[in-house]
Amino acid sequence: MAFVWFLLVFSLSLAVIPLKAEIQVNQSRVHLKIHHVHGPESSLIQNVSFSDLLLRDEERVKSLKSILVKNTNRNRGSSSLSSDLSKRSNHWSSAKSLNIPLNSGLSIGSGNYYVKIGIGSPVKYSTMIMDTGSSFSWIQCKPCAVFCHSQTDPVFDPSSSKTYKTLPCYASACSSLKESTLNSPLCSSSNKCIYTASYGDSSYSIGYLSQDLLTLSQSQTFPNFIYGCGQDNEGLFGKSAGLLGLARDKLSMIAQVSSKYGFSFSYCLPTATSSSGGFLKIGKNPSVMTSSFKFTPMVKDPRESSSLYSLKLAAITVAGLPLRVSAAEYKVPTIIDSGTVITRLPLSLYSALQSAFVKIMSKKYAEAPAFSILDTCFKGNVKSMTSGVPEIAMVFPGGAALRLSASNMLIQAGDGVTCLAFAASSEITVIGNHQQQTFEVAYDVANSRIGFAANACR
């Protein structure tokens, strides 16, 4: 049976949600209520194979690894892909706080989370993948000179926007593309700057570096937003219109609005059964000063890209007991990522976690065969596993921790089969979005720290 996953949809469309009921405005913030994708107001539901989602998740992790090691062509794809993309490009090219709603589901065919932002004058709203692992934002644009994948919203037409313009090759933003996308910019015969955003699963977008009005709510607009207007967009983007980059690079959306809001944001990723949904808050948030938040420093490893959000994992406990591994086993790059679903651990840590978890779980639940990359599985459904499930905690320096409930630890892999939502990797730890669900995760970039608060999607 196809497994319906979850996504986040930022619902600002007046045709769907009455704005007066959904937006609360005061001098310090805009708060937008959110709804689950499987709720009565959702019309985007689509079935996606869970096996396919796990395969895509593996490609996502490969992409992150390629960023960390900064391979010789500084490209998320292979050298052959880089060459092919260049050929394709040449062929066709001759302070306040803002809250944005998020909903859960896989309704547009991807395992990531989504927001809906507005581009242009007059504004046109589009559903975008929200990605803390990417620095560059892009959207599919008419005339789709080479190819546009199918998307839920109408494809953006830049000719209909009074504020749209392409940027020339001599623009400083064009020179910044190499750092943001890990691909060198190209230049068209008419002196238009061309970007290439490529990813580890061989997905990519190629188009014109552009500038236009960004709208996050009716009262929150930002002129001169820099993004990519994609003319050749192929790969595993589901039915989204594009990608919204939230990483630390200066071309990310968060960096571009930081002059107004400061360089900080937070989100809460809801579960598929959440009645209240989730949110994306941009700007300084008074709630992060409360005792419910615990912070840990962001770290910068010489091997890591400056754009990824990294931290140190100090320990993992199962039922309150630390794993039987040496402290040295934790000394690998650790990143937190909104686009990875399943948390990855180095083999030594994963094996110790698996052993400790199975020892307790097997007292009540029968073990089941592996499912794709998930090899710690049990007979039964997540909803029925209400007792006998040991708590897993991921502990960080400074007192911050992710103390995981059963819904954060386990995932339904099929009828009658539930698996631990962790998998083995090599030379990297990635904290996936399944483990982040219902926590408010605060990225205080200005003060170089990351914070967690439990039970925040309310």
Residues labelled catalytic = 131, 337
User: Hey, what are 334's tokens?
Assistant: 């650790």
Backbone angles phi, psi at 386, to 5 degrees: -100, -10
Centre a 10 Å sphere on the Cβ of residue 224 and count the other Cβ atoms it contains.
12
CB 382 within 8 A of CB 395: no
